[in-house]
Amino acid sequence: MIAPAGVQALQVLTVLFAAPLVSGVTSHVEARFQGRRGPRVLQPYYDLAKLFRKETVVPEGSSWVFLAGPVVAFGCYLIVPLLIPVLTTYGLPLGYMGDILGGGMVLALGGFATALAASDSGAPYAQLGASRATTFGALIEPTVLFVVFIVAMITSTDLPYALAATVRSSSEAVRPSHVLVAVAFFLVVLADTGRIPVETHSGTIEFGMIDEARALEHSGAPFALTKWGSAIKQLVLYTILINVFVAPWGLASSGKVLDVLVAVLSLVGKALLLGVIFALIDNSFSKLRLFKITEYLAAAFLLACLGVLVFYVGGA
């Protein structure tokens, strides 16, 4: 048996150490789809190790905010796995510290810290990235709110554990509102992790850069933290999508060592599968023009909105 506090720590550690693997596998698969050999699956770990050994260069005129930003963001992204069902079906001691909105706020705080650091660097591209990320973040927000509304209406709570339990118990029939909300959240994850319809996550094309541009001025250990942080954020969003909305199966229902081990492996497996799907999407669509992104986000909002209407008014 593993004590609940231990399982809780394990949730954070799983996300912490599996995140680069998910990124690595995704970019490897993506390269394979394009007929390239692609980077090694473990390349993100090597990158991080290299960056941690490098010296840190700070732009002239920037203050402590520039160095604190990546650390704060990294911390924020690590708090969220405490709140969501990463490994267990039952709530852990700190799991009720915050609901979905709380988790969303902590994630947004991380984004805010990164944006602040980017603005403090004084570099135009970093500031442009920060400004764009904040603007599109504000446009994503209504969709996320409606997603939370639907969760709240389906389960009468706003705890992610409750929705996962509802999904598990009603496997024989799928609620239309639940399908809509899952698709809407999928689109949000696609936008929030800087994937193809919104942003090319690997290239450095100035015109289309959003998230990538924010970290341009960082170097050394803070840059490593930024990269690692965005990998963690990606895995956290994947986990929410998988373990709350789409496939909350394979989670541990007790603290037994075997159960927890299975949960860790199934989480990583499901996240890798989702990563492959995202790589497929990356290769099948072209990037939207910056001013067309609002239409993409409007589509996500439409789905969430219809979900609320269908549930609230139609009772389905």
Question: In the complex, which residues of this chain contact other proteins (CB under 8 A)?
Answer: 153-154, 156, 170, 172-176, 179-180, 294-295, 298-299, 301-303, 305-306, 309-310, 313-316
Q: Least separation, in Å, of the C-beta of 302 and other proteins?
A: 6
Encode burial over 43-62: b for 16+ CB neighbours within 10 A, e otherwise. Answer: ebbebbeebeeeeeebeeeb
Q: Could you tell me the smallest distance in angstroms from the CB atom of residue 138 to other proteins?
A: 13
Q: Of 170 and 254, which CB lies nearer to other proteins in the complex structure?
A: 170
- CB nearer to other proteins: give 55 or 172: 172
Nearer to other proteins, 92 or 187 (CB): 187
**Distance in Å, CB of 1 to other proteins, minimum:** 34
Residues 6+ apart with CB under 8 A from 97: 82, 83
Cα separation, 211 vs 142, in Å, equals 20
Query: What amino acid occupies position 19?
Result: A
Closer CB to other proteins, 93 or 314, in the complex = 314
- Least distance between other proteins and beta carbon 301 (Å): 8
| CB-count burial class (<10 Å; 0-12, 13-18, 19+) for 138 | exposed
Question: Which C-beta is closer to other proteins: that of 7 or that of 293?
Answer: 293
Instruction: Please report, for residues 96, 126, 163, 166, 233, the alpha-carbon distance to residue 246 in angstroms, rounded to integers and kept in the order given.
Output: 21, 35, 10, 11, 18
Pick from 272, 191, 282, 277: nearest CA to 24: 272
- Provide the minimum distance between the beta carbon of 127 and other proteins in the complex, in angstroms, as a whole number: 25
